[in-house]
Amino acid sequence: MRLLVKNISSLVTMGGKNGPRCGSEMMDAKIIHDGWVAVEDDRIMSLGSGKAPDKNFETVIDARGKTVTPGLIDPHTHLIYGGSRENELEMKLKGASYIDILKAGGGILSTVKATRAMSKEELKQSAKKSLLEMLKYGTTTCEAKSGYGLNLKDEIKSLEAIRELNFEQPVTLIPTYLGAHAVPLEYKNCREMYIKEMIEDVIPIISRRKLAEFIDCFCEEGVFSIDESRRILKAGIDAGLKAKIHADEMEPMGGARLAAELKAVSADHLLAADEEGLISMRDSGVIPVLLPATSFYLMLGKYADARKMIELGLPVALATDYNPGTCPTESLQTVMTFACFGMKMAPKEIITAMTMNAACAISRENEIGSIEEGKKADIVIFDCPNLNYIVYHFGINHVSIVIKNGKIVVNNTNGGI
């Protein structure tokens, strides 16, 4: 199957090294004007500017007036869960904090109850709806965490759901084990036993069955301490998993430094990270994954300091944090709004953070994250004349066409391509 996208007003290739784009490099999105991209089967065959090749293509898309980018990559989602938490809204408006609600047995723990009550099939059906939504907004790959089972059986159920979903719908999923998301109620008075069971029983099984590629830990005041997080993540690393960490979101815990010490692939959130922690991340090659839609939704009145991270030379990535409590949105276009107007990131930095740097945050930079010869043909066509326009005109879906593995999977043009 051969497909051609031609007459592209603005082709954002992200070409160059398959690796993190650090600091000022994030402004270099390698944009081609009047471009074209040729696809063969699931790969990008060639690209250029000016006159497109006129070989026999089965499908030709005219992208005049449009902007084309690599498929968006969401490197932090809590995809697999049961129920929803709109009941917490009024408590929040009255001033209850996220941690207050969790300590009262709500928050994550109420989602755990709903998730345990659902079968794997039910969880998959629910996640499929979200994945279709992601795809419509331009996401072609996402990381997906477990973390609402919090026992061997239900964590495995969640990770198996992720594995199976990879074959049942177009979005590529990267599985992460997040048993250290909260201490489940039944271990409330013996948290050490829960940690020991994760380390001695659950992690070895998940690793042996190759159910996860990453291990993550919610390192936060009132959830898991630095020492506990270190033990859990180390156990995962020793078992062959790569590390991610929810770090320094609300309280400055030293999560950024721990990520550097463990050579984690990413440290996520980082609102309260100090400069020393950020520098240690930079020097150890840890990707900061920022989640500004969550900061907005938690009404924190502040965002992670993206400008400082870029100034320090870090390769910032962006994600939704899609989850039922602190960020119920699948849309990376929504995240663009908060990245720009909350964190003052420029559109070129934002697209770098949602493509190449996001690919690095899930160790997929050799396969996806840019439009270059030989890469997977994951491509989004936005009905916008240039990149700035996507961010500028906010609150709507700009996607015209999504191509995944060389196939059109979303088409909002009424068939008139």
CB nearer to ligand IZC: give 67 or 334.
Answer: 334
**Quick one: DSSP state of residue 322?**
B
Q: Return the residues of window 317-356 that contact ligand IZC according to CB under 6 A.
A: 323-326
Rounded CA separation 307/378 (Å): 29
Residue 218, Ramachandran bin (φ over 0: left; ψ between -120 and 50: alpha; else beta): beta
* Token digits of residue 328: 């119920």
Q: Which residue, 181 or 376, is less far from ligand IZC as judged by CB?
A: 181
| Minimum CB distance to ligand IZC smaller for 116 or for 407 | 116
What is the spatial distance between Cα 235 and Cα 63, in angstroms, rounded to a whole number? 49
Residue nearest to ligand IZC (CB): 325
Minimum distance, C-beta of residue 132 to ligand IZC, in the bound complex (Å): 21
End-to-end CA distance of the chain: 17
The β-bridge partners of 70 are: 379
Which partner from the list Zn ion, ligand IZC, none does 107 bind, CB cut-off 5 to 8 Å by kind?
Answer: ligand IZC
Q: Which residues within the stretch 308-347 sit at the binding site for Zn ion (CB under 5 A)?
A: 321
Q: Please tell me the distance from the alpha carbon of residue 242 to that of residue 173, in angstroms, as a whole number.
A: 15
What distance in Å separates the CA atoms of residue 282 and residue 273, rounded to the nearest whole number? 13
What mask, x for binding ligand IZC by CB under 6 A, covers residues 213 to 242?
-----x------------------------
Q: Please give the full DSSP string across 34-93, using - where no structure is assigned.
A: EEEEEEETTEEEEEEESSPP-S--SEEEE-TT-EEEEPEEE--B-----S--GGGHHHHH
- From the CB of 98, what's the least distance to Zn ion, in Å? 12
Q: Please say which residue, 223 or 362, places its beta carbon nearer to ligand IZC.
A: 223
Residue-level length of the chain: 417
Q: Verify binding: residue 78, ligand IZC, rule CB under 6 A.
A: yes
Question: Would you count residue 126 as binding ligand IZC (CB under 6 A)?
Answer: no
C-beta of 292 vs 324, nearer to ligand IZC: 324
Give the residue, chosen from 13, 77, 111, 158, that forms a contact with ligand IZC under the rule CB under 6 A: 111
Residues that bind Zn ion (CB under 5 A): 321
Residues that bind ligand IZC (CB under 6 A): 78, 107-108, 111, 218, 246, 323-326
